[in-house]
Amino acid sequence: MGRTKYTPEQMEKQKIEFFDRKVARDLGREVEDLLATHLSMKYSLKIRYRGGSYEPESTILKFEFIPKHAKNPEERTYIERAKVMSLPPLGATFSDESGHELKVAGFSLKARKNCIVLRRVSDNHRYKCSIDFLRQFFPDEMEIKGEDDGK
């Protein structure tokens, strides 16, 4: 993201008279940068600005603080379910029909059919696919269990 960096002279000129959407957003991003530089190394945290609300006289900013080693909910859910559902490990890569290299990135709880989250390795673009689509690229590594299993 291209964030505006202000010199001390510009900061002196930029007094906030009232809050509107742009001022609140710019202030939130600037506070995020300050928090990230001062607290992220000290406490080993990832800090993200998550929006907020504003009125002409005041603004409320929301931030998310995440331990750097923590996995996001999609990754945690995938790790929990991968063995039970006979899926490849988190981070497994494969090439699709168009030649793009994709990486398994997680499991979306909100989706029924296309619940597998993939990331394109080249630009980190997010895709979703079905479990069956993913299994067709890893047939040798997984034992796909049927309901009957021939017993």
Residues of the chain with pLDDT under 50: 1, 143-151
Q: What ranges make up the beta strands (E) of 11-115? A: 45-54, 59-67, 93-95, 101-107
Lookup result for tokens 């299993």: 149
| 145: amino acid identity, one letter | K
- Give dist(CA 101, CA 95) in Å, integer: 4
Residue 3: its pLDDT value, please? Answer: 58
Q: Is the dihedral of CA 133, 139, 141, 144 positive or negative?
A: positive
pTM of the entire predicted model: 0.51
- Give dist(CA 132, CA 116) in Å, integer: 10
- Give dist(CA 32, CA 34) in Å, integer: 5
| 22: amino acid identity, one letter | K
- Give dist(CA 102, CA 58) in Å, integer: 44
pLDDT in tens, 122-134: 998 999 999 988 8
Q: Tokens representing 39?
A: 């607290």
